[in-house]
Amino acid sequence: MIKPRLRQQLAELTAIPSIACTMPEQDMSNVPVIETLANWFESAGFGCEIMPVAPGKANLIAVRAGTDPQARGGLVLAGHSDTVPFDQNLWHNDPFKMTERDGKLYGLGMADMKGFFALILDAVANYAKTPFRAPLIVIATCDEETSMAGARALMEQSKGQGRFVLIGEPTNLKPARLHKGVMLERVVITGKSGHSSDPELGRNAIDAMHEVVNRLQQFRTSLKKIQQPLFPVPYPTLNLGCIHGGDNPNRICGLCELQFDVRPLPGMEIENIRADIRHLLKGIEQQFGVSMLYEPATAGSGAAETPANSPFVQKIEGLLGETAGAVSFGTEAPYFRAQNMDTVILGPGNIEQAHQPDEYLEIKNISPMLLLLNQLIHYYCVQGHAKI
């Protein structure tokens, strides 16, 4: 059973689009979601700051102070307010209309991860009349799915700081203390268009891109040799994400763009990987008579690791009776780690449903997540174990 208010807020969050996309025509503002959350958290007794990051993009920092307003530290519950784009014709229901089927709540952002904020509101409602010794800080960022601009801005301005951070990304309730980085990259090949009846009239950008894809696939194979056994996918991955080129079957393709991602393990430097790829793509321009641009589509985000002996990791492991592991996807943890906060990644969704048609949150995961949030708020904020 989900309380009607929680169900209503989950549905409202799903209904407000906040798609972040590296293709500017699909990129949307997240401000309507942030304003909605700010209203809800203000009603729950939080002081809210909406922090502008870029035009149409903002973070929310909501703070419920402890009894000692000078005390630093506190528990941070963090997540991103944006979602990825979706394939309209592959969804079986409107992605913006939360739909319940077979014990699951379907909707874009249910698992990854707007739904998390509704769960936090449900948990804090239990403490409406209970004073906190240490602050509870809720952070909702923008552009996690693209540039991590929201988390980067928080770090640069030293905002939203606490001692311990729970990031509610979809882990199916399993705690994780380390994860890979993520780099979003693009290759643009400019050839020369012409009539297809004579290949000599042009320089085919798709032919050249085919060679780029071949070499990236070889690189992907070589990445598999680097292993970190704590990860379910124990090697760095490379995904060919989207490709656009040409306009007509009877024209030589003059322009082709490929975007891909790479997810490095902790210890791998993004700049070194870029240098490897740059080296790998050498010679294609000359071979095909085209010009090629290889560049990051976004700045990328490093891998992160919180030590196994962190008190936050150990507290959560104790509550769950489970050892914290690793996840294969990138999160905003490196930006919190850079500010000396311990991070654990744990959320009620499942990464297998994230970035997929028919994304859903299993109703049976909601109660255990609420229990954990209540336990953490009680221990760190009410009892003050996150005070420094």
Catalytic residues: 82, 144
- Of 102-110, 113-121, 320-328, 357-365, which segment contacts Zn ion by CB under 5 A? 113-121
CB 367 → Zn ion: shortest distance, Å? 22
Write out the two tokens for 288.
Answer: 């095909």
Q: Token match 């307003």: residue? A: 69
Closer CB to Zn ion, residue 202 or residue 302? 302
Cross-strand bridge partners of residue 64 = 136
- Of 109-117, 210-218, 221-229, 275-283, which segment contacts Zn ion by CB under 5 A? 109-117
Closer CB to Zn ion, residue 20 or residue 277? 20
Within 140-169, the residues that bind Zn ion by CB under 5 A are 169
Closer CB to Zn ion, residue 169 or residue 358? 169
By CB under 5 A, name the one of 82, 112, 143, 332 that touches Zn ion.
112
CB 112 → Zn ion: shortest distance, Å? 4
Contact by Cβ (8 Å): 133, 68 = yes
Closer CB to Zn ion, residue 169 or residue 359? 169
Closer CB to Zn ion, residue 113 or residue 258? 113
Phi, psi of 285 (to 5 degrees): -55, -50
Closest residue to Zn ion: CB criterion: 112
CA atoms within 13 A on the CB side of 310: 23
- Of 64-72, 110-118, 316-324, 333-341, which segment contacts Zn ion by CB under 5 A? 110-118
Closer CB to Zn ion, residue 116 or residue 127? 116
- Of 46-54, 112-120, 122-130, 244-252, which segment contacts Zn ion by CB under 5 A? 112-120
Q: How many Cβ atoms are within 10 Å of 386's Cβ, its own excluded? A: 29
Q: Cα-Cα-Cα-Cα dihedral of 171, 176, 181, 182, to 10°?
A: 10
Whole-angstrom Cα distance, residue 31 to residue 56?
Answer: 6
User: How many residues belong to the site for Zn ion (CB under 5 A)?
Assistant: 3
Binding mask 260-299 for Zn ion (x = CB under 5 A): ----------------------------------------
CB 108 → Zn ion: shortest distance, Å? 12
Within 308-327, the residues that bind Zn ion by CB under 5 A are none
Closer CB to Zn ion, residue 163 or residue 179? 179
- Of 20-28, 105-113, 200-208, 297-305, which segment contacts Zn ion by CB under 5 A? 105-113
Within 167-206, the residues that bind Zn ion by CB under 5 A are 169
Beta strands at 255-263 and 183-190: parallel, antiparallel or unpaired: antiparallel
Contact by Cβ (8 Å): 168, 114 = no
Q: Token match 């996309």: residue? A: 21
Write out the two tokens for 274.
Answer: 């870029």
Q: Where are the alpha helices (DSSP H) in 235-293?
A: 270-280, 284-288
- Residue 250 burial (CB < 10 Å; 0-12/13-18/19+)? exposed
Phi, psi of 35 (to 5 degrees): -65, -40
Reduced 3-state DSSP string for 82-99: CECCCCHHHCCCCCCCCE
CB 95 → Zn ion: shortest distance, Å? 16
Binding mask 55-94 for Zn ion (x = CB under 5 A): ----------------------------------------
CB 77 → Zn ion: shortest distance, Å? 14
- Of 106-114, 123-131, 173-181, 241-249, which segment contacts Zn ion by CB under 5 A? 106-114
CB 337 → Zn ion: shortest distance, Å? 17
Closer CB to Zn ion, residue 169 or residue 185? 169
Q: Where are the alpha helices (DSSP H) in 126-269?
A: 149-156, 205-223
State the DSSP code for 291.
E
Q: Which long-range contacts (CB under 8 A, 24 or more apart) does 275-282 make?
A: 276/219, 277/185, 277/216, 277/219, 280/215, 280/216, 280/218, 280/219, 281/187, 281/212, 281/215
CB 282 → Zn ion: shortest distance, Å? 35
CB 113 → Zn ion: shortest distance, Å? 5
Interface with Zn ion by CB under 5 A: which residues?
Answer: 112-113, 169
